[in-house]
Amino acid sequence: MILLFPGQGAQKQGMARDLAERFPEAAETLAAIDAALDVKLTRVMWEGSEEELTLTHNAQPAILAHSAAVLAVVREKLAGQVVAAAGHSLGEYSAWVAAGALTPAAAARLVRRRGALMFEAGQARPGAMAAVLGLPTEAVERACAEASAGDAGVAVAANLNAPDQTVISGDASAVERAGEGCKAAGAKRVLPLKVSGAFHSPLMAPAVAGLRDALGATPFGDPAFPVAANATSELVHDRGGAQRLLAEQLTAPVRWVESMRRLAEQWPEARWLELGPGSVLGGLLKRIVPGAECTALGTVADLEGFLGA
């Protein structure tokens, strides 16, 4: 089995509440994360406003908490069957939890700190992001390079989500120009994203040192199985590589297409599971690896079906 873990944007009010009410393992995991943080995260997840939950430093640990709660419920059934994992952006931290390199509480503290650092970087140098649909990544990258010429700001391809879906990130004016360039090149749509900063772009550089310090101060073990690193798509087998690449991930593109293809090539017969809120990654997988099927495990109904199978 190959495990996938969602990233920011998958948050939803009420997330994981049904899991806590149905499964003691999920409730215990969420309680441990609450105790580890400076805020009762489950209150934000279950009772907070959409605006509060969407704040980067809340959304990131909330999504990880949901994934960790699912993992706690299915861990026994998965024992000995998982060959690798991957997570989209903050989801990479959930993948390291699955691999046994991080505890859920330690990972939640890390991603809350990560979210705060990213928010601060976004406040210091406001940026923008936009999703480009229906245009090959190479054409998006050309539009970004043209929009970044001279001293007019920077735009980069930040999330390489599918062969025809790329998110661009950078200074707002450059992202707007890159988006126009993408439309001129034939993009079906360019959709501005509601974010608090230009994630996975050079604008996040001020956050790297603080995250590197937080990673170094966190107990981190070697994984039971490899995790695909967003920054390079390589399969990482050791904690040193994990910590280095998680810090680099802030300013590097999420190489999701390369990661999925690498995993599929190495384990062509593996079953794919998406653990956490939503099923976005399973949808992307079908577009990247034709014929691949991914089972979403995020709700009580999902889990009861999986556990009973």
Q: What is the 3-state secondary structure (H, E, C) of 161-212?
A: EECCEEEEEECHHHHHHHHHHHHHCCCCEEEECCCCCCCCCHHHHHHHHHHH
Q: What is the tens place of the pLDDT at every residue in 167-199? A: 999 999 999 999 999 999 999 999 999 888 999
For the entire predicted model, the pTM comes to 0.95
Q: What is the tens place of the pLDDT at every residue in 217-269? A: 999 999 999 999 999 999 999 999 999 999 999 999 999 999 999 999 999 99
SS3 132: strand
Distance CA 143, CA 146 (A): 5
What pLDDT shows up at residue 180? 97
The single residue of 67, 169, 200, 233 carrying the catalytic annotation is 200
The stretches in the chain having pLDDT less than 50 are none
- Amino acid at the residue 33: I
**Nearest CA among 82, 47, 84 for reference residue 263:** 84
Measured N-to-C along each axis, helices 208-216 and 104-124 cross at an angle, to the nearest 10 degrees, of 160
What pLDDT shows up at residue 274? 98
What pLDDT shows up at residue 288? 97
Contacts of 171 (CB under 8 A, 6+ apart): 125, 127, 128, 153, 154, 155, 198, 203
What pLDDT shows up at residue 195? 87
Q: Is 237 a catalytic residue?
A: no
What pLDDT shows up at residue 194? 86
What pLDDT shows up at residue 152? 77
What pLDDT shows up at residue 196? 85
Residues facing 160 on adjacent strands:
166
Q: Is 200 a catalytic residue?
A: yes
What pLDDT shows up at residue 38? 85
Asked if 173 and 125 touch (Cβ cutoff 8 Å), the reply is no
